[in-house]
A and B are shown apart, each in its own frame.
Chain A
Amino acid sequence: DAGVIQSPRHEVTEMGQEVTLRCKPISGHDYLFWYRQTMMRGLELLIYFNNNVPIDDSGMPEDRFSAKMPNASFSTLKIQPSEPRDSAVYFCASSLWGDSNQPQHFGDGTRLSIL
Chain B
Amino acid sequence: GQNIDQPTEMTATEGAIVQINCTYQTSGFNGLFWYQQHAGEAPTFLSYNVLDGLEEKGRFSSFLSRSKGYSYLLLKELQMKDSASYLCAVVAGANNLFFGTGTRLTVIP
Contacts and interface: CB of A to CB of B under 8 A. Distances in A.
Interface of A: 31, 33, 41-45, 48, 50, 55-56, 91, 95, 100-101, 103-109
A100 B42 contact: no
A95 B45 CA distance: 11
Instruction: Tell me if B's interface is mostly helix, strand, loop or mixed.
Output: strand
B48 to A, nearest CB: 5
Contact of A33 (B33, B41, B97, B101): B97
Contacts of A107: 42
Contact of B45 (A31, A45, A55, A104): A104
Contact of B96 (A45, A108, A109): A45
Contacts, number: 47
Interface of B: 30-31, 33, 41-45, 48, 50, 87, 89, 91, 94-102
A interface SS class: strand
Contacts of A108: 41-42
A104 B97 contact: yes
B87 A43 contact: yes
A42 B31 contact: no
Given A91-B42, A106-B42, A109-B42, A41 B31 contact: no
Contact of B99 (A31, A42, A48, A56): A42
A108 B43 CA distance: 9
B55 to A, nearest CB: 11
